[in-house]
Amino acid sequence: MVPLTHYLLLSGILFVCGVLGFLIKRNIITIFMSIELMLNGVNLSFVAFAAHWHALSGQIFVFFVMVVAAAEAAVGLAIIIAVYRTRETLNVDQVNLLKL
Amino acid sequence: MTPNPYLWLIPVLPLAGAAINGFFGRQSSKRAISTVALSFCGAAFAMALWIALTFSSASAPYFLDLARWIRSGSFNVDFAFYLDQLSLVMLLVVTGVGFLIHIYSVGYMWDDDGYYRFMSYLNLFMFFMLTLVLAKNYLLMFIGWEGVGLASYLLIGFWFVKDSAASAGKKAFIVNRIGDFGFLIALFLIIKHFHSLDFTSVFQAVAPMAKETSGAGLLTAIGILLMVGAAGKSAQIPLYVWLPDAMEGPTPVSALIHAATMVTAGVYMVARSHVFFERAPMALMVVAIIGTLTALFAATIGIAQTDIKKVLAYSTVSQLGYMFMACGVAAFSAGVFHLMTHAFFKGLLFLAAGSVIHGVGGEQDMRKMGGLRVYMPWTFRTMTVATFAIAGFWPLAGFFSKDEILWKAYSSEYGSWVFWLLGVTTAFVTSFYMFRLWFMTFFGAYRGATARDGHGHNDHGHRHGHDELHESPWVMLGPLVVLAVLSVVGGWVGIGGRFEHFLAPVFQSGGAELAIEAADAASKTTEYLLMAASLVAAFLGFALSWTLYYLSPAVPARIAEGLGGLYRAVVNKYYVDELYALLFVKPVLDGSTEILWHGVDQGVIDATVDNSADSARHVSDNLRHMQSGNLRSYAGWVAAGGAIVIAYMIWMGVR
Amino acid sequence: MLHLILFLFFGAICVAGAVNLLAQSHPIDSALSLVVVMVSLAAEYLLLGAEFVAAIQVIVYAGAIMVLFIFTIMLLNAGAEERTKGSRVAIVLGVPGVVTGAVLVAWTLVHRVNSIQTVSIGALPGDPRDIAWLLFHDFLLPFEVTSVLILIAILGAVVLASRPDAVARRHHDHEAAKPLPELVGAGKER
């Protein structure tokens, strides 16, 4: 019998790691992977709550999250490839054409 | 009270002339302008004459309710005109002398570029003055009052490109305004306590009120405040300083406005308001003191002036002081009598001075004149008449009116021998400086430069072909002769108290004009004695100036050196202008510059606007850095914001 | 008891993998740590009884998405990260913000949420039949929409990632095969 809060704490730790990775890392692809990490953390809390409240729709939602994450990863990586072709760099600090 | 449906024409005819000349004068020929100006003014004069001829004391006063104006609850003011004996006298003086001066101006101002403007302003002045004289309530009179101030400003500053003229116009207007402030407060008091400004209603309401013998009361306040207004308009102490400066205007302006008509508006107003003054002895005392002091003070300044027009200006101030002295001892008809005769001889003096100035090519300094009686005979003759008249020699006009005042100053229940003594002294000084002017201008050797280089353009920008001293044309001399005749015969209406009797219905409505009955046989001897004394004073003045300026012309300079500081003080008008500049003008200017301009306008308003713009710029400068295009900084902001939201939600949930 | 031990074991692997992702400098190392995280998460799902989700996690997430990531890393030949001037805001504002938020949430969870709420092992069995029932009955619309979404994503990815000149070169090859009509006509005229 594991208290629910443990699952939620684990989920929170994963999410925080994902955010920190987003803030700290300089490689675009690594930042993307941090996003995936965030999504995973959220998935875990969904499943934990579904189990707690005996509502299967929590797992359905995880399903959809995964689908969207897949689509997003595909498109995002395509964009990264396109950016790499023009900029010759994967350093996010050097892709700042939108500055004022 | 009988209605007269034509009263409104008298002011409006000159207004029409002013409008026509003002709008169309620029394209018109000088002939056309003159015709318009003279005919409209002449029409007003003709109407005044006709009213005078058909005037009957039984059906007086005439009135005309022209139009409604203010209806505010129970307070009503209308455009209404009023004509009684007092108005009639003023009307004849204003239109008659005004018409003569219009004719004179045709000759005097002919060569000026702004000729049409001048004639338009003259007619405009006539309109306002006639409104003032014919008004049936204080508010309409105040419109005329302000309007003549405006016309005076326009005409003094007629040659506005000259700095001194423009400043003189402003000075006149501003000093007048100070007096108007007092006048307005008086009007407010009248409105508050009598709920009307109409002469008839107000005077009827005041008539049953008792005399305020203890000195402090409503009527005293109204009286003193009215006197403040009169002091501004009629150049009495302490508001006389604008009149000498007003000599910057053309000479016809000085004659009309600053001798004959505008400055007498104050006297007229005090005479009209006699009902208040007769019930407020303290106010009467104030009026008399101001009048007497001004008369003597201005006369002493006049003896040292070298500009011919300045001498006449101070003489005007002094003679106005006489009129106020008369009103101050409740001898209102005497004051009005002197007003009338003064209009004749002072107007003549100014016009003749203008003729002299014209003849010498613009020079106004008497030290550069002399011996002109040979070159300008008619000017000399008329000016001689005027000088003897103002000095008070019998049988000319000035003698009768001035003597009437001096007698009343002595014998009236409000008068005293002090007033009489000061009045006689002033008569002596007046005679002295007027004959000084006469001798310096017309006798002796000519000390000027005109015969050689000709064109001094001090006063009238007049370009002649002549290089030598010459007499003026008849268009200018004609009015001089007419006024000279009037200066001779004008006083004869006062013989036997006929003038006083004529004005009696006006001043008896207050019920305190008992000076007429007070002249009983016992005091007739005193009257003749005093008459003799004033004649002696006039003669002494003549004798002294004859000695100093005809027999030994080098002596005055030595006396002036000997007196040193005193002489300099008198020449510099006792430094009154400098005193005012120090006390009033400088603080206002400094306060305005430091506090209002630097402090409020630049420091507060400009600073607010500038600072708000600056701060907007600074804020945006700093905010700009938020949008750096850097993905990670955006993420940082999002994370921080998210943390805040989470904290807030937890806090709300915990509460 | 067993539940707790297993949970802690797999949870430790998760956290270790996540921290390693942050610590590594080469992206391929980060990708591999992420795979570890996902597999251990699948184990966690199994502990909660979500069989289908666990299977999908391994097949789709670890098996397809992470493979795509690794392919991209290898394709672009991204090396280890260099040190460049980053954003001060992210470090100064973002990290403390995240940490604060995390601490607050943790505090709330530990002190406020009722600790006796527990989840038992295999609490909610999510077998494919039940999932399928929900998916095709109650959640049919989202399902169809997400399938369209995937289609669009595929199209987008293809377009975005294609070489711009590859299309032109194909056109060019096509054009080169055809004869040029003007020259022929010109020759005729002359």
Residue pairs spanning B and C at CB distance below 8 A: 62
Residues in chain B closer than 8 A to A22 (CB atoms):
632, 635
B650 reaches C (C-beta below 8 A): yes
Integer Cα distance of A61 and A42 in angstroms: 11
Q: Using DSSP, how many helices (H) and how many strands (E) does chain B show?
A: 29, 3
Integer Cα distance of B405 and B414 in angstroms: 13
Query: Which residue in the set A92, A97, A100 is minimally distant from B632, CB to CB?
Result: A92
- Domain architecture of chain C: domains with CATH: 2-138 (1.20.120.1200), 139-190 (no CATH)
Residues in chain C closer than 8 A to B638 (CB atoms):
94
**Residue A66 counted as domain residue:** yes
Going B191 to B195 to B196 to B201, the CA torsion angle's sign is negative
B607 reaches C (C-beta below 8 A): no
**Residue A74 counted as domain residue:** yes
Q: How far is A16 from chain C (nearest CA, A)?
A: 7
**Residue A43 counted as domain residue:** yes
A50 reaches C (C-beta below 8 A): yes
Total domains in chain A come to 1
User: What backbone torsions phi and psi does residue B72 show, to the nearest 5 degrees?
Assistant: -135, 95
Residues in chain C closer than 8 A to B652 (CB atoms):
none
ipTM of the complex: 0.90
Smallest Cα–Cα separation from B199: which of B133, B265, B283, B125?
A: B133
Residue entry with tokens 């011996």: B371
Instruction: Give chain A's length.
Output: 100
Cα–Cα distance list, B43 to B11, B33, B101, C28 (Å):
10, 15, 15, 114
Integer Cα distance of B303 and B548 in angstroms: 12
- HSE-CB for B520 with a 13 A CA cutoff: 3
**Residue A44 counted as domain residue:** yes
**The predicted structure's pLDDT at residue B466:** 54
Smallest Cα–Cα separation from A35: which of A80, A5, A100?
A: A80
Q: How far is A27 from chain B (nearest CA, A)?
A: 11
Residues in chain C closer than 8 A to A69 (CB atoms):
61, 65
| CATH number for the domain harbouring residue A87 | 1.10.287.3510
Residue C190: is its pLDDT beyond 50?
A: no
What residues of chain B have any CB closer than 8 angstroms to a CB in chain A? Answer: 624, 627-632, 635-636, 639
User: What backbone torsions phi and psi does residue A25 show, to the nearest 5 degrees?
Assistant: -75, 150
Q: What mean pLDDT comes out for the span A60-76?
A: 94
Integer Cα distance of B586 and B577 in angstroms: 12
Q: How far is B612 from chain A (nearest CA, A)?
A: 23
What is the pairing mode between strands A2-3 and B75-83? unpaired
Q: Give C28-82 pLDDT, tens digit per residue.
A: 999 999 999 999 999 999 988 889 999 999 999 999 999 999 999 998 886 776 6
**The predicted structure's pLDDT at residue B347:** 92
Paired tokens of C60:
């789709």
Touching subunits of B (3+ CB pairs, under 8 Å) are: A, C
**Residue A99 counted as domain residue:** no
Q: How far is C98 from chain B (nearest CA, A)?
A: 6
Taking an 8 Å cut-off on Cβ atoms, the answer to whether B632 and A95 are in contact is no
Taking an 8 Å cut-off on Cβ atoms, the answer to whether A74 and C109 are in contact is no
**Residue A23 counted as domain residue:** yes
- Place C172 in a pLDDT band, splitting at 50, 70 and 90: low
Taking an 8 Å cut-off on Cβ atoms, the answer to whether C90 and B640 are in contact is no
**The predicted structure's pLDDT at residue B47:** 92
Residue entry with tokens 């990708």: C31
Residues in chain A closer than 8 A to B624 (CB atoms):
100
Integer Cα distance of B481 and B378 in angstroms: 8
**The predicted structure's pLDDT at residue B502:** 84
- pTM of the entire predicted model: 0.71
C101 reaches B (C-beta below 8 A): yes
> Across all residues in chain A, what is the average pLDDT?
89
Mention every residue, 6+ apart, whose C-beta is less than 8 A from residue B408.
B326, B329, B331, B334, B415, B515
Integer Cα distance of B300 and B433 in angstroms: 9
**The predicted structure's pLDDT at residue B455:** 45
Integer Cα distance of B25 and B575 in angstroms: 43
Q: Give B360-410 pLDDT, tens digit per residue.
A: 888 888 888 888 888 888 999 999 999 999 998 888 888 999 988 998 888
Paired tokens of B321:
């002081």
Q: Which helix (H) or strand (E) holds B67?
A: strand B62-72
Residue C141: is its pLDDT beyond 90?
A: yes
Integer Cα distance of C7 and C14 in angstroms: 10
- 3-class DSSP string for chain A: CEEHHHHHHHHHHHHHHHHHHHHHCCEHHHHHHHHHHHHHHHHHHHHHHHHHHCCCHHHHHHHHHHHHHHHHHHHHHHHHHHHHHHHCCCEHHHCCCCCC
Expressed as residue numbers, the domain containing A82 is 4-94
Residues in chain B closer than 8 A to A23 (CB atoms):
632, 635-636, 639
User: Which of A95 and A54 is assigned the larger pLDDT?
Assistant: A54
Query: Which residue in the set A19, A22, A96 is minimally distant from B629, CB to CB?
Result: A96
Taking an 8 Å cut-off on Cβ atoms, the answer to whether A30 and C30 are in contact is yes
**pLDDT-wise least confident of A84-98, B528-542, C9-23, C62-76:** A84-98
- Residue of B627, B630, B638, B650 for testing the chain A interface, max A β-carbons within 10 Å: B630
Residues in chain A closer than 8 A to B643 (CB atoms):
none
3-state DSSP helix/strand/coil % of chain B, to nearest 5: 75, 5, 20
Q: Which of the residues in chain B have pLDDT under 50?
A: 452-463, 465, 509-518, 521
Do B399 and B491 touch, CB atoms closer than 8 A?
A: yes
**The predicted structure's pLDDT at residue B465:** 47
Integer Cα distance of B236 and B234 in angstroms: 6
Helix/strand/coil for B112: coil
Burial state string for B323-351 with b = 16 or more CB within 10 A and e = fewer than 16:
bbbbbbbbbbbbbbbbbbbbbbbbbbbbb
